[in-house]
Amino acid sequence: MVSKRVSGITESATIRMGQIAEQLRAEGKSVLNFTLGEPDFITPEHICAAAKDAMDRGYTHYTSSAGIPELREEIAQKIRAENKVEAQAENVIVTPGGKQAIYEVMMSILDDGDEVLLLDPVWVSFEAAAKLAGGQPRWVTRLEKELTYEALEVASSERTKLIVINSPNNPAGYVLSDRELSTVADFAREHDLLVLSDEIYEKIIYGRAHTSIGSFDGMQGRTIMINGFSKTYAMTGWRIGYAVAPRWLLKEMLKVQQHTVSCAASISQYAALAALRSPQDCVTEMADEFRRRRDVIVKRLNEIGLRCVNPEGAFYAFVGAPDYGDDVQFTERLLKEAHIVVTPGSAFGDAGRGYVRFSFAASMANIVEAMDRLANIV
């Protein structure tokens, strides 16, 4: 018999669709996979070399649960310089991926029945982490209209403890404006709430500047910044992320980490240290390539007749397909008739119904081929 906590959440639709793609490939089908949120680039050579050097030097044992001191300090310096937040190493915890950091936040602050405001559509792991911690998600629609104070107020109650924001956004690709961030900050201060700000896509942004809500007046003491190396440095398999949080909360998150995963992998930590200390040309080159792919896929989707709002960040095209059945039916049609695998928008919340998500973390050749196949069936 399984627990109510686990039975109350669903498996990741993104991972499930990716598994379907792999199964079809194994059967010899020519499948084009646009599901996974994973850069299709190789981790830069200098980062891999740093990991090999760490192994050669014997850095293959447990580290401090919060992370090696030099990496925590480097992250704090990055946060001060780039995000304009006065962080110290003592505000940083290094985790096995950003998901672990999110889970630790939820476990540290939520009691049964406490509410979490989520912007709909939302990356599904936020909802799952809140539920695993006993929390209750409350939804605020943010898709093609700006977030308002009134919308937050309608969704909240006296049980609300946390607001979750993700900018640049997965799945919709929007970037919250400074006005929207100011609205969230005002609401959090006036209602004494914490804000979890997932900024994992901060470097994959097009024509906009990334702003962290932690830099707003009065927000440093109530903001938890989540970030990592998976998207920026193509290090998804290294499982290395971090959180920057007030020290009182970091102490509680550290308890969860100590009693679950102990620490992030030592080798991955030294690789991450090299990533931060080295020139960032590899990041710029990858972001530029994502921009080129975005321009192609958005143009072709709109020409085909599938409405696609131009993503301002991340590497997802959230595509409206109202004339082709619901989003699940359209996903199945793409799979059966064109061997194109995408994620149905309803997997990200009610606001995603009628949409599908294309990840353009795929080669330009595959994007062009997929658009040609799509044009033949739509």
pLDDT digits (tens, 9 = 90+) for 272-318: 999 999 999 999 999 999 999 999 999 999 999 998 889 999 999 99
Domain map (residue ranges) of the chain: 4-43+281-377, 45-277
Structural tokens at position 76? 């704090």
Structural tokens at position 252? 């509680």
According to DSSP, the residues that pair with 198 across neighbouring strands are: 166, 226
Structural tokens at position 361? 């973390």
When comparing pLDDT for 259 and 323, which is higher?
A: 259
pLDDT at residue 10 in the model: 75
For the domain made up of 4-43+281-377, the CATH class stated in words is alpha beta
> Which of 124, 133, 83, 78 is CA-nearest to residue 105?
133
Q: What is the CATH architecture assignment of 45-277?
A: 3-Layer(aba) Sandwich (3.40)
pLDDT (tens digit per residue) in 25-37: 788 778 899 988 8
pLDDT (tens digit per residue) in 204-258: 999 999 999 999 999 999 999 999 999 999 999 999 999 999 999 999 999 999 9
Instruction: Give dist(CA 198, CA 124) in Å, integer.
Output: 13
How, if at all, do strands 115-120 and 136-141 pair?
parallel
284 touches 354 (CB < 8 A): no
pLDDT tier at 16 (50, 70, 90 boundaries)? confident
pLDDT tier at 13 (50, 70, 90 boundaries)? low
Instruction: Give dist(CA 325, CA 336) in Å, integer.
Output: 15
Q: Which residue has the tokens 């695998």?
A: 341
- Half-sphere exposure at residue 300, Cβ-oriented, CA atoms within 13 angstroms: 21
pLDDT tier at 3 (50, 70, 90 boundaries)? confident
Instruction: Give dist(CA 225, CA 313) in Å, integer.
Output: 18
Instruction: Give dist(CA 32, CA 51) in Å, integer.
Output: 32
- Which 8-state DSSP code applies to residue 310? P
pLDDT at residue 5 in the model: 82
Q: Is 262 exposed, middle or buried (0-12, 13-18, 19+ CB in 10 A)?
A: exposed
Helices (H), 110-141: 124-132
> Which of 365, 349, 363, 355 is CA-nearest to residue 311?
355
Instruction: Give dist(CA 354, CA 241) in Å, integer.
Output: 33
Residue 43 zone, left/alpha/beta (φ > 0; ψ -120 to 50; rest): beta
**Across 190-198, average pLDDT:** 98
Residue 15 has pLDDT above 90, yes or no: no
